[in-house]
Amino acid sequence: MRKHPRTKLALTERIVMKALVYHGPGKRAWEDKTKPTIKEASDAVVKIARTTICGTDLHIMKGDVPTVTDGRILGHEGVGIVDEVGAAVSTFKKGDRVLISCITSCAKCDACKKGMYSHCATGGWILGNTIDGTQAEYVRIPFADTSLYHVPKGADEDALAMLSDILPTGFECGVLSGAVKPGDIVAIVGAGPVGLAALLTAQLYSPAQVIMIDLDDNRLEVAKTLGATQCINSTDGKSADRVLALTDKKGVDVAIEAVGIPATFGVCQDIVAAGGHIANIGVHGKSVELKLEKLWDRNITITTRLVDTVTTPMLLKSVIARRLEPRKLITHEFVLDDLMKAYDTFGDAAKTKALKVIIRSA
Ligand SMILES: [Zn+2]
Ligand SMILES: [Zn+2]
């Protein structure tokens, strides 16, 4: 019934917006795209107020993520203002300020009913992957009622942008899967944004020590200011020996892998104590060696997980109450029109010392 007038509108009044578009490995552009519209009754269109760039976006730019095709708008993190909602959306209305989850949840499929939104039959990680993402002036959010969160009045929206992905990722895949408890010795291998998010959220459980391991002294300095009790530069390849020296040769209760390469997963296996957990967060592109000849009798739990963002409501409350301060992860600020520059800065982190960049609409 409404098809004809809509088609007419689309033909005569195509509204254009700017977006960061992937054009194959190594190629991206800040260019004109059609502003998204409501496709399904459960959709919302959100005007972006804050977005950021993830390590995953850099993997996409290298061509490591084949589900992302030429022409895709990147980005799966952000905070915005609801611009339009579909007929079935009941929790949000035009003008509401919202946090966008990197994971889309239909809330109805088997996986969603288990709280495993990352494996939602029709959602999961789709933003900036199989559908257009948040590094644009506007984004269409499917299943808006169960994939957006209200931003409390007066909240620090820069900090909330850290809740779209890295904070729940560090918390769920690292801290919860690793079962961090009061008094534990925790080691986090990798002090990038997600490793640091694990460091921040691990402290909710009062571990006795959090040992941070990385190649970059700058990142280790930051880790110290965020609560790391000891920092180890692993450039010499002897980080496992040092962790054992720090722990009376017993090793750590929880080893969190936040890099995603065989060497760092190997370190986790070398430093885990009897009865300990190895919690993998890193995205692995290569097979790793499992040292079962050493671990078979040591009561070790190894976990893998993709973030479900099921803890986002809890983390949101903790950030508002300032029990967690993810703003400290932000090192650089840009306006939306400078997204290309933001990518250059974030992509050259060793030189620019970038952790998270915040990109604001003007
Ligand atoms: Zn991400
Ligand atoms: Zn689902």
Q: pLDDT tens digit string along 205-244?
A: 999 999 999 999 999 999 999 999 999 999 999 999 999 9
- Residues 294 and 355 placed together within one structural domain of the fold: no
**Which of helix, strand or coil describes residue 356?**
strand
Tell me the CA–centroid distance for residue 106 and ligand 2, in Å: 4
Confidence (pTM): 0.94
The pLDDT of residue 285 is 85
Question: Are 202 and 321 within 8 A, CB to CB?
Answer: no
Helices (H), the chain: 3-12, 55-62, 110-113, 144-147, 157-160, 166-169, 193-202, 217-225, 239-246, 262-271, 292-295, 312-320, 339-347, 349-352
298 in the same domain as 343: no
- Kindly state whether residues 291 and 223 are assigned to the same domain: yes
The predicted model gives 343-358 an average pLDDT of 97
How confident is the model at residue 14, as a pLDDT? 81
Q: How confident is the model over 53-64, as a mean pLDDT?
A: 94
Of 37, 148, 133, 134, which is closest to residue 89 (Cα–Cα)?
Answer: 148
Q: Residue 1's pLDDT is what?
A: 46
Q: What is the CATH number of the domain that holds 222?
A: 3.40.50.720
Q: Is the pLDDT of residue 50 over 80?
A: yes
65 plus 138 within the same structural domain: yes
Query: DSSP labels for 55-82?
Result: HHHHHHHHT--TTS-TT-B----EEEEE
Q: Which of 288, 304, 320 is the last residue of a domain?
A: 304
For the chain, the domain total comes to 2
**Cα(155) to centroid(ligand 2), Å:** 29
Closest-CA residue to 272 (of 175, 170, 178) = 178
- Of 111-120, 175-184, 221-230, 283-292, the least confident: 283-292
Both 287 and 179 in a single domain? Answer: yes
CB 139 within 8 A of CB 53: no
Residues 280 and 245 in one domain: yes
Centre of ligand 1 to C-alpha 15, Å, is 28
Same domain, 253 and 109: no
Domain shared by 161 and 222, yes or no? no
Candidates 210, 169, 151; CA nearest to 76 is 169
pLDDT above 50: residue 249: yes
3-class DSSP state of 339 = helix
CB 333 within 8 A of CB 346: no
Distance of CA 40 from the midpoint of ligand 1 (Å) = 25
pLDDT of residue 21: 98
- Ligand that lies nearest to the alpha carbon of residue 134, given by its number in the listed order: 1
**What's the CATH number where 334 sits?**
3.90.180.10
Looking at the CA of 56, name the nearest ligand.
1
Q: Quick one: which ligand is closest to 168's CA?
A: 1
Q: Is the pLDDT of residue 10 over 70?
A: no
* 118 CA → ligand 2 middle, Å: 8
Give the model's pLDDT for residue 4.
Answer: 52
Domain boundary among 286, 304, 322: 304
Q: Are residues 36 and 85 in the same domain?
A: yes
Tell me which residues have their CB within 5 A of the ion that is ligand 1. Answer: 54, 56, 165
What is the mean predicted confidence (pLDDT) over 25-54? 98
Any idea which ligand is nearest the CA of 165? 1
CA of 296 to the centre of ligand 1 (A): 33
pLDDT confidence tier of residue 44, bands split at 50, 70 and 90? very high
Burial class (CB in 10 A: 0-12, 13-18, 19+), 306: middle
Please give the pLDDT value at position 6. 52
Ligand nearest to the CA of 147: 2
Cα–Cα distance between 174 and 226 in angstroms, integer? 16
What phi and psi values does residue 176 have, to the nearest 5 degrees? -75, -45
Could you say which of 289, 304, 319 is where a domain stops? Answer: 304
Kindly state whether residues 318 and 339 are assigned to the same domain.
yes
pLDDT tens, 150-185? 999 999 999 999 999 999 999 999 999 999 999 999
In this predicted model, which residue has the larger pLDDT, 254 or 7?
Answer: 254
Is the pLDDT confidence value at 102 over 80? yes
Are 216 and 350 in contact by the 8 Å Cβ rule? The answer is: yes
User: Shortest CA distance to 357 belongs to which of 81, 98, 78?
Assistant: 78
Which ligand number lies closest to the CA of residue 125?
1
User: Do residues 143 and 19 both lie within one domain?
Assistant: yes
- Ligand found nearest the CA of 57: 1
Structural domain including 122 reads 3-165+309-360
What would the two tokens of residue 168 be? 């729940």
> Within this chain, do residues 287 and 200 fall inside the same structural domain, yes or no?
yes
In this prediction, what percent of the chain has a pLDDT beyond 70? 96
Of 163, 9, 182, 6, the C-alpha closest to 77 is 163
Distance 54 CA to ligand 1 centre (A): 5
Q: Please provide the average confidence, as pLDDT, over all residues in the chain.
A: 95
CA of 121 to the centre of ligand 2 (A): 5
